Structure 1
Amino acid sequence: MGAGGRSWSGEGTQREAARMSEWEAGLDDEAGAVMRTVVRQLKLWREAAGLTQAEFGAAIGYGQELVSSVERGRRIPRPEYLDAADEVLGAGGKISAMKGDVAEARYPKKVRDLKKLEADAVELCAYNNSVIHGLLQTEEYVRASVATRRPPFTEDEFEQHVAARLARQNILTETAPLRLFNFVQCESTLRRPIGGRMVMRRQLEHLLEAGQLRNVDLQVLPLDREDNAGLAGSFRLLRLRDGSAVGHNEVQLVSRVITDPREVQVLDIRYGTIRAQALTPRESLAFIEKVLGEK
């Protein structure tokens, strides 16, 4: 083993095997196509540098078996792997630039599908009665909510889901194009202490900050309202650039995009009613400040 390489004997072998188990690809067809392109480029760069897999592995600090697994598409290269490869192979940032594509491919398909819809939307409307909407969650809140999943995720799956949810949030502040967002949160989501008191304090403070954005309307539907058109559960409504609209519903084990015009119309009517039943954006921010003061 050359300098910087990782030992494949005894305890070192076990540690490396454990790390490799977290790199399992297990990708769907679309993500698999992206990864095949990435690993093909990695192999071409390595061969152009005249390095064997063993020599390359020693240079970047990983074992030959892991390098082989990456080039066969059995393992997903981590960001630090790509950065090390870029430096050793003198790629001038071309290999490191693939980190975004690799990260995207690692996200669950339902997350990638939702990101595509959000990217094509000019307005996103969402009603939530169980948790704070994912685009508005702090990292601590994300981690606490994902941790409640049963059966629990593996450590790698956990980090993958956290990263995927946080990666979607930059859509709120992207300026090209500037999308409109309307969120209606049931009061219960403001009071449910996910992650504990301090996590919820920071989450409520974050909501107040988000509510100040020019393209965001944040409303609260109080629990003392006699009428609530959202009792059937949380949902999203996305208005797309071509003038059409789609819905999205996520419940136990099911993530469904709704495209049937009749069903979308029902969601549209229902969401309009929910907005009318909720406090105005100005009243809602005052309400959130009140709840924050109680904590």
Structure 2
Amino acid sequence: MGVSSESADEPGWDVSPEDEVAPVVEATGRQIRLWREAAGMRVVEFGRAIGYGEDLVRKVERGARIPRADFLDRADDVLNAGGRLRAFKEDMEKARYPKKVRELKMLEERAVELLLYSNHNMHGLLQTPEYAQALFETRQPAYPQEVVERETAARMSRKAIYERSPAPAMSFVQEEVTLRRPIGGKMKLRRQLEHLLQVGQLRNVTLQVMPTDREDHAGMQGLIEVLKFGDGTAVGRSDGAFNGRPVSDPKDLRILELRYGIIRAQALTPRESLTFIEQLLGET
């Protein structure tokens, strides 16, 4: 078995000691080391057996590197751990994403209704992997490639919300400009528009477009996001309200919901919006 592409000299996804997931990653690494030592294998032998570099194995064992699912699968097989190392895969998958994404994903997993207005970028829950990666590659100062890949994977992980049952009600309003800007090139935009048409057909999704030529527009203060939960509580935020901070006070949420309701009324209807996207696709 050859050495994995996640070799010792690649940057990978390291763990900061200040990160709240560090104890979990350290505990996982400690278990791998204990199983390796119990099997009487030296680090170099173990690394060769699972196809990973010696330096990377050492980093994983001391909790400085988050092991990939493939690493845990191979380690479990080589060390005859009976699934005990594979059991860490879910925790490691969560740990490899930035804290802000983990927190947002937890909120989205609880939400029974989402109200989402985007005025500058395609909303993350609507993005294709190609489009998301191209978007991260536009950031300045430029992200290192491993950060681009990590952020893209984290964003895509949130799309598990579409597989939930019962499915949450999701309402999106997108500014026309976000559907026209060819982030990453025209082919990636085409695939993104095709994806929007598919998502817009889902029974729990309402997708609307806000045309640029609207004279009255309640969304000029920036994006709006409101997530409602099954216990009657909610959280929301907007660039142009409450200093951009998340709010949960009912009075503050009413302001965001009122603004969002007006935006929906001013936008194209869902059916008109899908027709509009089809027309854009024909022009691209």
Fold shared per TM-score above 0.5: yes
Which residue among 44, 59, 62 is the counterpart of 1:69? Answer: 59
User: Does structure 1 residue 125 correspond to structure 2 residue 128?
Assistant: no
Among 277, 290, 295, the alignment partner of 2:279 is 290
Q: State the match for 2:187 in structure 1.
A: 198
Gaps of 5+ in 2: none
Map of 1:239 onto structure 2: 228
Change (3 A) 1:172 1:23: closer
2:32 alignment partner, one of 23, 42, 47: 42
Cα RMSD after superposing both structures: 2.4
What corresponds to 1:18 in structure 2?
9
2:222–2:239 contact (8 Å) kept in structure 1: no
Give the conservation status (yes or no) of the 8 Å contact 1:24–1:75.
yes
Q: Contact 1:239/1:246 (CA < 8 Å) preserved in 2? A: yes
SS of 1:44's partner is helix
Partner of residue 60, structure 1 = 50
Per the alignment, residue 82 of structure 1 pairs with 72
Moved more, 141-150 or 44-53: 44-53
The alignment status of 1:188 with 2:188, answered yes or no, reads no
Cα deviation code 1:162-192 (max 9, x no counterpart): 10011111212322x3111000011111111
Residue 249 of structure 1 and its aligned partner are, at CA, apart by: 4.5
Q: Any conservation in 2 of the 1:60–1:88 contact (CA below 8 Å)? A: yes
Query: What SS is found at the alignment partner of 2:9?
Result: helix
Residue 256 (structure 1) shift: 4.5
Q: Deviations over 1:242-284 (max 9, x none)?
A: 1011014579xx9843223332222111111111111111111
Distance 1:45 1:225 in 2: 64
Gaps of 5+ in 1: 7-14
How far residue 138 of structure 1 moved from its aligned partner, in angstroms, is: 1.1
SS in 1 for 2:114: strand
Counterpart code for 1:247: G
- Residue aligning to 1:162: 152
| CA separation of 1:32 and 1:248: change in aligned 2, threshold 3 A | farther
Q: Aligned equivalents of 1:55 and 1:166: distance in 2?
A: 35
Q: Alpha-carbon deviations, 1:25-52, whole Å to 9, x = none?
A: 1264421132123223212322332323
Is this contact kept in 2: 1:128–1:186, CA < 8 A?
yes
Q: How many positions carry a matched residue from both structures?
A: 281
Q: Is the 8 A contact 2:8 2:54 kept in 1?
A: no
The match for 1:258 among 238, 247, 250 is 247
- For 2:63, give the aligned amino acid: G
**Cα distance change of structure 1 residues 257 and 48 upon mapping to structure 2, 3 Å threshold:** farther
What is aligned with 1:95?
Answer: 85
What is aligned with 1:230? 219
Instruction: Check if 1:218 corresponds to 2:207.
Output: yes
From 132, 144, 153, give the equivalent of 2:134. Answer: 144
Q: What amino acid does structure 1 have at the position aligned with 2:228?
A: R
Residue 94 of structure 2: aligned partner = 104
Q: What's the secondary structure of 1:123's corresponding residue? A: strand
Q: For residue 16 of structure 1, report the CA deviation from its aligned partner.
A: 5.2
Give the % identical residues.
54
Q: 1:61 to 1:205 in 2, by over 3 A?
A: closer
Deviating more after overlay: 231-240 vs 85-94: 85-94
